[in-house]
Amino acid sequence: MDYKIVFSDIDGTLLNKERELSPETIKAIQQFKEEIPFVLISARMPSAMFHLQKQLGIENQPIICYNGGYVLVDNEVISSTAIEVDTIKSIADFNQQTKVHLSLYHADEWHVPEHDYWAKREANNTKVTPSITHINQVIDSWNKKEVGAHKIMCMGEEDDVEKMYNHLQEKYGDQLHLYRSKPTYIEIANKNISKLTAINLLLENHFNLSLEESVAFGDNYNDVEMINGVGMGVAVGNARDEVKKVANKITDKSIDNGVANSLHQLFNA
């Protein structure tokens, strides 16, 4: 099969142990990017992806943000699916019991209650500085603008995060995706979208290509559907077992340039 497009997750998949793009990865992608589009697909916000696009020289390509909840083509929004404000308020009310850190994201906004350990950690990882805004203020503002959250990030001690997860699963399991990349994290998104729905959108409306012609790289729970759905799903060596189980191929770990090594094999780049 001649594969004609590549989609890649970022964290845990594309980056090295310093959470940066390695020279080997940059070189491999730049070798074939004119013939084979390389599209970043992540739970990250746009600002946390633009600098990576620039390093790779793929600013002309679309990006898929928030696990498929926000898709940009030529910096124009072609798809936006958010969590309703009423749901955000309900989660905030329950959080009076758990006191986990709640980060709220919409488009290129990132709001945190304070610049605490969790906010600092996430800012260091993504190279983006959040806005310190009380959650009630965010809710009021978004309610007036009739917008919602493209992502809610819950971060905190394991016991508190577990309580939050169980509550969300029971009350919103049919409405929200609840991704747990770590015991101290929950990433929340609207259940109507996924990385695979966003890939399908771009393939049909922008690239005129099929899933069978697509390659995808991933490592975590939010990548399972994508890896299982494309023509060549590749799990990096450090991927969750659930990802490896549905992958067509398992490559080296992210810190060992797994994506770059696989690209050389697939495209002789």
Which residue ranges make up each domain of the chain?
5-80+193-267, 85-190
Phi, psi of 60, rounded to the nearest 5 degrees: -80, -10
Q: Where does the pLDDT of residue 198 fall: very low under 50, low under 70, confident under 90, or very high at 90 and above? A: very high
Q: What is the mean pLDDT of residues 237-252?
A: 97
CA distance linking residue 179 with residue 186, whole number of Å: 6
How confident is the model over 104-163, as pLDDT tens digits?
A: 999 999 999 999 999 999 999 899 999 999 999 999 999 999 999 999 999 999 999 999
For residue 42, the model assigns a pLDDT of 97
Q: What is the mean pLDDT of residues 207-214?
A: 97
Classify strands 109-112 and 101-106 as parallel, antiparallel or unpaired.
Answer: antiparallel
For residue 143, the model assigns a pLDDT of 95
- So what's the architecture of 85-190 in CATH? 2-Layer Sandwich (3.30)
pTM (predicted TM-score): 0.94
- The CATH number of domain 5-80+193-267, selected from 3.40.50.1000, 3.30.750.210, 1.20.120.330, 3.40.50.300: 3.40.50.1000
Tokens of 7: 């989609």
Q: Which helix (H) or strand (E) holds 180?
A: none
How confident is the model over 14-40, as pLDDT tens digits?
A: 999 999 999 999 999 999 999 999 999
Phi, psi of 85, rounded to the nearest 5 degrees: -60, -40
**What torsion, rounded to 10 degrees, do the Cα atoms 165, 18, 253, 59 define?**
90
Q: Name the residue type at position 37.
A: P
Q: List the helix and strand counts (H, then E) for the chain.
A: 10, 14
Indicate whether 188 pLDDT > 80.
yes
Edge-to-edge order in the sheet of strand 109-112 = 131-132, 109-112, 101-106, 151-155, 185-190, 176-179
Indicate whether 1 pLDDT > 90.
no
Give me the percent of the chain exceeding a pLDDT of 90: 95
For residue 100, the model assigns a pLDDT of 96
For residue 269, the model assigns a pLDDT of 55
Q: Where does the pLDDT of residue 182 fall: very low under 50, low under 70, confident under 90, or very high at 90 and above? A: confident
Q: Where does the pLDDT of residue 268 fall: very low under 50, low under 70, confident under 90, or very high at 90 and above? A: confident
Q: What is the mean pLDDT of residues 225-240?
A: 98
Q: Which helix (H) or strand (E) holds 205?
A: none
For residue 200, the model assigns a pLDDT of 98
